[in-house]
């Protein structure tokens, strides 16, 4: 085993021990999402980000000694050209056929203009019983392995991709907010066809993914979520979600949960009204706490999961407040997360609340990583 692999397994052990409330030498911390070109270049020793964005990002992660990388989001979204979704054929095995069907619908009928358009599209979704026709288990296994291997260049950091293993609720991005939200009210049965079919697809593919993780000793931790909430809570009522969405989410991810694989749920907005529902599905970790928008991270930290344990949390240096303040404020935000871990006996991965934007000072980004690396001196 070479030095990089040895350090990789040390980071992997630290990460898993933290989320399992076992002793760690220090809290693990993640690499930045987005970040700034200046900070990445400086951390990488002055290398030109635009010549080799992947390599400069990886060098910055090594400089900062990051334990893990969630997603792979670069400044200026260059990840769309050099990231995993550009270099791994995720549509052949991992992505739901529904994304292709939506694209074909738009080509034939034009953009979704009403809730009725969504109703009509949902009526074209195959019946749940037909889901096995659309899931090639060999492709699922191969694409997942390729996706994990894609992140080898990030080592010794542990790569945690977002392989779209859940039932997506964010169809408003292609169908329009008003149309989509109205469809929940006017055409719930038709809309549920979409969720039910995708759930069966994902149940089948996640059975393969869970087996692949366990058989290949991959990191038993997956990352993903769907933006369901805004600043005022869920975009539709929790009652509606409980009828139309959560039973299907639970069905989709059950092979992962039942295999003992941990799930870190990416969450935007105030998710507190639906935390019990997410936990009932088997979610045991959360990332992305917009506390300045009303999210109560401390209440979440005290809410027991379905497995009887407290959730593990990834965060939460606030990217919309703290990262625009002084170096001292950055250090204080890191310290409160260290203190939270001390108070609950673990369960914390240090990181930002969301993506760091390009107008954040390089000084604050370096101050954050210095505080991460020197937790005992805060």
Q: What is the pLDDT of residues 318-371, one digit of tens each?
A: 999 999 999 999 999 999 999 999 999 999 999 999 999 999 999 999 999 999
If pLDDT is split at 50, 70 and 90, which confidence band does 35 have?
confident
Structure confidence by residue, pLDDT tens digits, 159-183: 999 889 999 999 999 999 999 999 9
pLDDT of residue 293: 84
- Kindly report the three-state secondary structure assignment for every residue of the chain: CCHHHHHHHHHHHHHHHHHCCCCCCCCCEECCCECCHHHHHHHCCCCCCCCCHHHHHHHHHHHHCCCEEECCCCHHHCHHHHCHHHHCCCCCCCCCHHHHHHHHHHHHHCCCCCHHHHHHHHCCCCCHHHHHHHCCHHHHHHHHHHHHHHHHHHCCCEEECCCCCCCCCCCHHHHCHHHHHHHHHHCHHHHHHHHHHHHHHHHHHHHHHHHHHHHCCCCCEEEECCCCEECCEECCCHHHHHHHCHHHHHHHHHHHHHCCCEEEEECCCCCHHHHHHHHHCCCCEEECCCHHHCCCHHHHHCCCCCCCCCCEEEEEECCCCHHHCCHHHHHHHHHHHHHHHHHHCCCEEEEECCCECCCCCHHHHHHHHHHHHCHHHC
Measured at the alpha carbon of residue 162, what is the angle toward residues 47 and 85, in degrees to the nearest 5?
Answer: 60
pLDDT of residue 348: 98
If pLDDT is split at 50, 70 and 90, which confidence band does 377 have?
very high
**Mean pLDDT in the chain?**
96
If pLDDT is split at 50, 70 and 90, which confidence band does 12 have?
very high
Average pLDDT over residues 101-110: 97
If pLDDT is split at 50, 70 and 90, which confidence band does 36 have?
very high
pLDDT of residue 96: 96
pLDDT of residue 114: 98
User: Within a 10 A sphere around the Cβ of 143, how many other Cβ atoms?
Assistant: 23
Q: Is the pLDDT of residue 270 over 90?
A: yes
Average pLDDT over residues 8-12: 98
Average pLDDT over residues 17-26: 97
pLDDT of residue 41: 97
pLDDT of residue 64: 97
Average pLDDT over residues 248-269: 96
If pLDDT is split at 50, 70 and 90, which confidence band does 294 have?
confident
If pLDDT is split at 50, 70 and 90, which confidence band does 288 have?
confident
Residue-wise burial string across 288-316, b where 16 or more C-beta atoms lie within 10 A, e elsewhere? bbbbebebebeebbeeebeeeebbbbbbb
pLDDT of residue 178: 97
Q: Is the pLDDT of residue 1 over 80?
A: no
Q: Give the percent of the chain with pLDDT over 70.
A: 100
pLDDT of residue 336: 97
Average pLDDT over residues 184-205: 98
Average pLDDT over residues 136-165: 96
pLDDT of residue 268: 83
pLDDT of residue 340: 97
């Amino acid at each position: 085993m070479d030095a990089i692999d040895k350090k990789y397994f040390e980071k992997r052990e630290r990460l898993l021990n933290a989320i399992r409330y076992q002793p760690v030498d220090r809290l693990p911390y993640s690499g930045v999402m987005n970040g700034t070109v200046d900070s990445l270049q400086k951390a990488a020793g002055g290398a030109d980000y635009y010549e080799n964005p992947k390599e400069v990002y990886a060098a910055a992660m090594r400089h900062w000694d990051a334990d893990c990388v969630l997603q792979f989001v670069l400044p200026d979204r260059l990840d769309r050209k050099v990231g995993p979704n550009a270099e791994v054929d995720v549509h052949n095995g991992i992505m739901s056929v529904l994304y292709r069907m939506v694209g074909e619908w738009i080509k034939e009928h034009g953009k979704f203009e009403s809730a009725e358009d969504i109703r009509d599209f949902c009526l074209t979704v195959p019946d749940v019983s037909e889901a096995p026709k659309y899931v090639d288990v060999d492709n699922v296994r191969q694409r997942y392995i390729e996706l994990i291997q894609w992140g080898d260049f990030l080592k010794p950091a542990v790569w945690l991709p977002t392989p779209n293993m859940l039932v997506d609720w964010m169809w408003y991005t292609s169908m329009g907010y008003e149309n989509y939200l109205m469809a929940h009210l006017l055409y719930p049965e038709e809309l549920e066809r979409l969720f039910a079919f995708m759930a069966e697809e994902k149940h089948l593919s996640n059975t393969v993914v869970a087996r692949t993780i366990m058989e290949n000793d991959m990191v038993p931790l997956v990352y993903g979520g769907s933006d369901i909430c805004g600043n005022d809570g869920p975009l539709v009522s929790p009652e509606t979600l409980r009828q139309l969405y959560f039973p299907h989410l639970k069905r989709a991810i059950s092979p992962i949960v039942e295999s003992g694989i941990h799930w870190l749920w990416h969450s935007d907005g105030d998710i507190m009204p639906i935390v019990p529902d997410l936990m009932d599905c088997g979610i045991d970790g959360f990332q992305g706490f917009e506390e300045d928008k009303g999210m109560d991270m401390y209440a979440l930290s005290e809410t027991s999961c379905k497995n009887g344990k407290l959730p593990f949390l990834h965060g939460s240096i606030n990217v919309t407040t703290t990262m625009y303040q002084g170096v001292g404020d950055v250090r204080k935000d890191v310290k409160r997360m260290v203190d939270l871990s001390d108070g609950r006996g673990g369960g914390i991965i240090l990181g930002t609340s969301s993506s760091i934007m390009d107008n954040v000072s390089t000084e604050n980004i370096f101050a954050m990583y210095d505080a991460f690396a020197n937790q005992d001196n805060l």
